[in-house]
Amino acid sequence: MLELLDVHGHYGLSHVLQGVSLRVNAGEVVGLFGRNGVGKTTVMKTIAGWVAPSRGTVQLDGQAIGGVPPERICRRGIGFVPEDRRIFPGLTVQENLMLGFMQQPGRSRAEDRRRLDDIYTRFPRLGERRGQMGTTLSGGEQQMLAIARVLVGAPRLLLIDEPTEGLAPKIVDEIFRLMEGLRRDGIPILLVEQNMHRAIGFVQRFYVLERGAVVLEGDGGNSAHREALARQLAV
């Protein structure tokens, strides 16, 4: 469904991505692991169109999308939940969610209402706080809102960057339960997550980045691959 082939990326003279190749198949959850500063977020931004690749190919369903404006990539069905969440100040929870309708324009009001009802069923805490300002929510609730706002647009593929960073263990459990529900629904996910020990039980396959390149690929259910992952990140 999604494939990166020898993707390079630069910030000015800094060569951040140095030939990244990876894939996400339909219905699959894939982890992208590595230490801070190795290029994980840049991979996500490159897929989402926030950063144009300087070389290589990004394909969705076999069609090149590298360098395509982010709004067009979004409307092709890629939903991006960034690390900083980007909750809009001055807007309520429901108003933040309604901005997600812009991802797929042209739907009827009845369909939009149905999508919103589905979101509140999946995220009951947001339903309880729908009239509250989004930026006054707790960190965990803001993360739920960021994910829910993308889901309103019915994406075919989710990119989720560091969803549990800075959250208490109880909230981390809740975020993973929510993502587990997305996996059961068959929504493909590319996940960047520092909590490798928790994430490895969630993903089906994984890649490890080091200095802007993939240095390890493995199966999340394979004990030998998991041990290799632990050794790689412990180096």
Per-residue pLDDT of the chain (235 residues), as tens digits, is 999 999 999 998 899 999 999 999 999 999 999 999 999 999 999 999 999 999 999 999 999 999 999 999 999 999 999 998 899 999 999 999 988 887 776 777 888 888 899 999 999 999 999 999 999 999 999 999 999 999 998 899 999 999 998 888 999 999 999 999 999 999 999 999 988 888 998 999 999 999 999 999 999 888 999 889 888 888 5
CATH for 2-77+156-234, among 3.80.10.10, 3.40.50.300, 3.40.1050.10, 3.30.230.10? 3.40.50.300
What is the C-alpha separation between 145 and 155, in angstroms, rounded? 15
For residue 97, the tally of other CB atoms under 10 A from its CB is 24
User: Where do you find CATH 3.40.50.300 in the chain?
Assistant: 2-77+156-234
Give the type of residue at 227.
Answer: E
> What pLDDT score does 221 carry?
86
Give me the torsion for CA of 41, 43, 48, 51, rounded to 10°. Answer: 90
Bridge partners for 205 per DSSP: 30, 219
Instruction: Measure Cα distances from 30 to 71, 113, 165 in Å.
Output: 24, 31, 18
> What pLDDT score does 115 carry?
86
Cβ distance 150 to 81 under 8 Å?
yes
Instruction: Measure Cα distances from 118 to 45, 56, 78, 139 in Å.
Output: 28, 38, 19, 22
What is the C-alpha separation between 47 and 32, in angstroms, rounded? 13
> What pLDDT score does 127 carry?
93
